[in-house]
Amino acid sequence: MKYLVTGGAGFIGSNLSRYLIKKGARVCVLDDLSTGLFENIRDLEHHKDFEFILDSILNFEILEKAVKKCNAIFHLAAAVGVEYIINNPLRSIEVNVQGTENVLKLANKYKKPVLLASTSEIYGKNEKDQLHEEDNRILGSTTISRWSYSNTKALDEFLALAYYREKKLPVVIVRLFNTTGPGQVGDYGMVVPRFIKQALLNKPITIYGNGKQTRCFTHVKDVVRALFDLLSDEKSAGKIFNVGNPEEVTIKELAEKVKKATGSTSEIIFIPYEKVMGPNFEDMKRRVPDIKKIGKQIGWKPTLNLDHIIKDIIEHQEKGE
């Protein structure tokens, strides 16, 4: 079995590639390294079952060659991270929409099953206790840049479902909630590794906003297991699944957990959103996944809690890996 992993040099993609190879599969990674890092896949570089293509999903000819050679596709390539989206709005829209259209068009041409990585950003400002896959999307104005990401990923989902309904292309859609773990960097707004890095250096732990906003964090090991099992399950095609850990924490509580776990002397400080994200930034107060659907479908549930996640990232950063 050979898998194409678009965006495979990213944090999730590289962990998925490693997982697939351990399963005995062959892996082809296609990544332009715009947000991914070659360092993430350096250990796989010379593996007999691994191939790396340095290029973009916007390059239709190169993408077609990669699709033809594989049996199935994990489509993870996308503009990611709130800060990256805000700073690169045109590129983000182009990659997320045109790139996904390219992947789906070629997957349909060669009849290759696809898993599309979507996002919890789909739900926008919906703040209900647990977000279900059928819940309404509540978005802000088009003048607020962050909502463009939600809309591009929603269009990706519409495209994927259209290919499933009209062309019978096997496509499964996964809405990822905050995924983290060892090796993730905080460069594009990823909060857990950023807090831990600040704490280990005894520098101020910087919270954007008032810290009362809540999030849920899932260990990447749990996430890649869900991705593999969903694409392997033929009955998951044409469906959307939340993948996340319902363990809810405020960002202020997260900072306090990190400070305690590292034994840091860091001060916890609060920075107004506009100083970091610029004017017209909007955040959501909470985002908690309902994971009953995926549990019923394939029996998946997260196994590693937030304390375990923090411990793993601390150990990784202390080793300087």
Write the pLDDT tens digit of every residue in 91-106. 889 999 999 999 999 9
**Where does the pLDDT of residue 277 fall: very low under 50, low under 70, confident under 90, or very high at 90 and above?**
confident
Specify whether domain 2-179+218-245+287-303 bears CATH 3.40.50.620: no
CA–CA distance, 42 with 47 (Å, rounded to integer): 10
**Where does the pLDDT of residue 291 fall: very low under 50, low under 70, confident under 90, or very high at 90 and above?**
very high
E strand or H helix that includes residue 201 = none
pLDDT in tens, 199-252: 999 999 999 999 999 999 999 999 999 999 999 999 999 999 999 999 999 999
Q: What percent of the chain has pLDDT over 70?
A: 98
Question: Phi first, then psi: what are they for 286, rounded to 5°?
Answer: -155, 160
Residues designated catalytic: 149
Is the separation of the CB atoms in 35 and 79 below 8 Å?
A: yes
What is the structure's pLDDT at 221? 98
Checking if the pLDDT of 321 tops 90, the result is: no
Checking if the pLDDT of 278 tops 80, the result is: no
pLDDT in tens, 36-67: 999 999 999 999 999 999 999 999 999 999 99
Is the separation of the CB atoms in 74 and 3 below 8 Å?
A: yes
User: What number is the average pLDDT over the span 170-183?
Assistant: 97
Checking if the pLDDT of 191 tops 70, the result is: yes
**Where does the pLDDT of residue 274 fall: very low under 50, low under 70, confident under 90, or very high at 90 and above?**
confident
Distance from chain centroid for Cα 314: 21
What is the structure's pLDDT at 223? 98
Say which range, 61-65, 144-148, 166-170, has the weakest mean pLDDT: 144-148
291, two tokens: 């994971």
Task: Report which of 6, 154, 169 is spatially closest to residue 74, judged by C-alpha positions.
Answer: 6
Residue 319, Cβ density class (10 Å: 0-12 exposed, 13-18 middle, ≥19 buried):
exposed
**Where does the pLDDT of residue 276 fall: very low under 50, low under 70, confident under 90, or very high at 90 and above?**
confident
Per DSSP, what are the bridge partners of residue 5?
Answer: 29, 74
What is the structure's pLDDT at 80? 74
Question: Phi first, then psi: what are they for 110, rounded to 5°?
Answer: -105, 5
CA–CA distance, 321 with 318 (Å, rounded to integer): 8
Task: For 140-200, give the DSSP string.
Answer: --TTSTHHHHHHHHHHHHHHHHHHHHHH---EEEEEE--EE-TT--STTS-HHHHHHHHHH
CA–CA distance, 47 with 14 (Å, rounded to integer): 14
Lookup result for tokens 């594989």: 70
User: What number is the average pLDDT over the span 149-176?
Assistant: 97
